[in-house]
Amino acid sequence: MTGKFLFSIVLLVLTAASSCKEPEDDKKPDTVEERMVDAIPEFYAPNKESLYGQIPPEMTEIANESAGLNFPNDLEFHPFADRENELWVLCPGSDQTGGHTVTFFDPLTDPDNYEWRRDGNAWHFMALSTGLAFGENGNWATSQGIPDANRMGMFFTGPSLWSSDMAIYARVGERPTSQVNGSHLDMIHQSPMGMGIAHEIDNIYWVFDGFHSTLCRYDFAEPHYPGGYDHSDGKVWRFSEPVVKMSGNTSIPSHMVLDKETGILYICDTGNKRVIKVDIGSARARLGTPGVNLLHGEPLALYQEMVGATWEVVSDQGFDSPSGIALIANRLFVSDFNTGAIHCLDKSSHEKLGSYDSKTPGIAGLEVGPDGKLWFVNALENKLLRLDPAPVVLP
């Protein structure tokens, strides 16, 4: 057998073998573990699919009652870029005192740098407050969880507007008078038992009206001077649907959050044990609504009843007392006050993506911080907390 013939056979074998090889483009990972997953970064650090979610996050205590936290029920970071690390925590106080706030100037790096404040007439303007919401203009508003802010057996309560200017809030009107009554910028008294509040635009806010079991849209319009008294330019739109219900435990807030890109308002409908959403631009005015409303003894620039809003249930499965709510990207986080769980839902499909069990009832307000982590308050434990995804250890 000649060398030339042997060379031809070897070449033929090699060619056949190479034609049987799988193309490189079609090569698949040896195992599914090679795919990295990061579906809920607020709960879990990125990890291989087979390990994702196995290492639970750590609940870190940031502050407690020593910082003046007393049944804290809501929190929000300041919207200004130069104050984005500044966190405001709301406490309802008592029927005798009204609510107060604790402002943490940079809890990410220095949680001991904070300031406790109570307005000069918090007894009325922040009476048993349940929620706070910031506007992009730096003003913020509170909902009051009380039937009558005057304690006269009537139904005269609603949201209040405040300044975040530290030279104004709880400094102007420290000793209230008829002309300078605390430091509030405005108040409209059409929602007794306000259980939650969300900002829309300018000085416009949405309120969960527990007394009327409705949602209300409030426009404070042009605020008066700090501590003033003329609220007559206020406007109110009351939505007859959906019917919302506050919890039988009136200390449990029903927080809301507005997706400002889509105009969808997400609501913890606590008494009905569900989360719902409303298209805020879908309703129409009911004909015959009076231009001003004296139902609660208050003249207004506009009072309008709204009907036909488009709404639907996001989830009514696995909730006992939904209370806190926060939104980031496609993820909707909802806390359950009575169970201590935090659930993550897909805002589009409404699928439950995951849950974290703190094993501690009392979680109320939720907020996604500038660090991308979940911050929340536990009202029963008097604590400000943060959820820290555990470090990843890849095998």
Residue 140 lies in a domain: yes
Find out whether 296 and 189 touch, Cβ atoms under 8 Å: yes
Average pLDDT of the chain to the nearest whole number:
90
Residue 15 lies in a domain: no
| Residue 7 pLDDT exceeds 50 | no
Two tokens, residue 259: 């997706």
Average pLDDT over residues 16-26: 45
pLDDT category at 53 given cuts 50, 70, 90 is confident
Residue 371 lies in a domain: yes
Task: Give the torsion through C-alpha atoms of 281, 284, 288, 289, to 10 deg.
Answer: -20
Close Cβ partners of 74 (under 8 Å, ≥ 6 residues apart): 89, 90, 130, 131, 132, 253, 255, 324, 364, 365, 377
Residue 220 lies in a domain: yes
Two tokens, residue 127: 């009476």
Residue 8 lies in a domain: no
| Residue 13 pLDDT exceeds 60 | no
Residue 2 lies in a domain: no
Residue 390 lies in a domain: no
Lowest average pLDDT, out of 18-22, 48-52, 142-146, 289-293, goes to 18-22
Residue 133 lies in a domain: yes
Side-chain-facing half-sphere of 205: CA atoms under 13 Å: 34
Rounded-to-integer distance, Cα 196 and Cα 305, Å: 20
pLDDT category at 33 given cuts 50, 70, 90 is very low
From the list 174, 171, 184, the residue with the least C-alpha distance to 226 is 184
Rounded-to-integer distance, Cα 207 and Cα 280, Å: 12
pLDDT category at 354 given cuts 50, 70, 90 is very high
pLDDT at 243: 98
Q: Which domain covers residue 297, as residue numbers?
A: 51-381
Share of the chain above pLDDT 90, in %: 81
Task: Give the torsion through C-alpha atoms of 135, 82, 228, 182, to 10 deg.
Answer: 110
The enclosing domain of 297 has a CATH number of 2.120.10.30
| Residue 52 pLDDT exceeds 90 | no
- The pLDDT tens digits of the residues spanning 204-244 come to 999 999 999 999 999 999 999 999 999 999 999 999 999 99
- The pLDDT tens digits of the residues spanning 54-109 come to 888 999 999 999 999 999 999 999 999 999 999 999 999 999 999 999 999 999 99
pLDDT at 22: 44
Domain count, the chain: 1
